[in-house]
Amino acid sequence: MAFFFQSRSRPSNAQSTARMRVLMVCMGNICRSPTAEGVLRHKLAQAGLADVIEVDSAGTHAYHVGSPPDQRSQQAARKRGYDLSQQRARKVQAQDFQQFDLLLAMDWDNLALLEENCPQDPALRCKLKRLTEFVASTSPHAGAEVVPDPYYGGPAGFEFVLDLVEHACDGLVEHLRQVVGSVGSKP
C-alpha cells in the first residue's frame, strides 16, 4: 500500500534535520503508542534514517499527561532492546495535524477521534492512517486491523502488541525509506 507525502516546511528547530515526522497515537499514550514510538525509533536507527525521520507519540485522551509509559510496556520492550523510559505521555494537539506528515492510530476508535479533530483540509486528513496498514502481506500478522490495547490484560498482551508493532514498523520503515528517497537524498 503506497501513501504519498508532500514535503512541508517544519517548525524551526535548530536541532532537527528531519524531513519527515511520524506521530504514533493511542488512547492514553502509555502502552501502545509509546511502544510503537520506541520500536520505530530503533528500527529507523538501524536503517540509517534516524536523522531524517522524527518519531513522537500522543494520546487522544489526556488521562496520563506527563506520565511515563506503563511499567508493563516498558518491561516487555526492554526485554527486546527498546528503551521507553524517557517518554512522557501527552495529548494530541491541534498543531500536530500540521507538523506531522503521518499520524498513525493504533485502532479504529482512535483513528475516528483523529478524524473528528482534524481540520477538514484534505491535505491534512490524508495523513491519518492505522499503523497496521503497514503490516506486510507476508507477515504472520497480515490482515490485523488494529493494535489491541493490552492495558487490562496480562503479560501476553504486551508481548503480542510488540510482535504486531514490530511487523508494522518493518513495513513502515520500508515505506518511509521510499518516501524520503523521493523527497531528496540525504546530504
- Give the pLDDT confidence of 119-132 residue by residue, as tens digits: 999 999 999 999 99
The overall average pLDDT reported for the chain is 90
pLDDT in tens, 151-183: 999 999 999 999 999 999 999 999 999 999 876
Q: What is the pLDDT of residue 2?
A: 36
Q: How confident is the model at residue 184 (pLDDT cuts 50, 70, 90)?
A: low
Q: What is the pLDDT of residue 154?
A: 94
Known catalytic membership, residue 169 = no
Known catalytic membership, residue 26 = yes
Known catalytic membership, residue 32 = yes
To which residue does cell 503521518 refer? 102
At the fourth CATH level, the homologous superfamily of domain 20-183 is Response regulator (3.40.50.2300)
The whole-angstrom separation of Cα 11 and Cα 25 is 20
Taking the alpha carbons at both ends of the chain, their separation in whole angstroms is 28
* pTM reported for the whole predicted model: 0.89
Q: Please say whether the dihedral angle defined by the alpha carbons of residues 17, 104, 82 and 173, taken in this order, is positive or negative.
A: negative
Pick the catalytic residue from 19, 21, 32, 90. Answer: 32
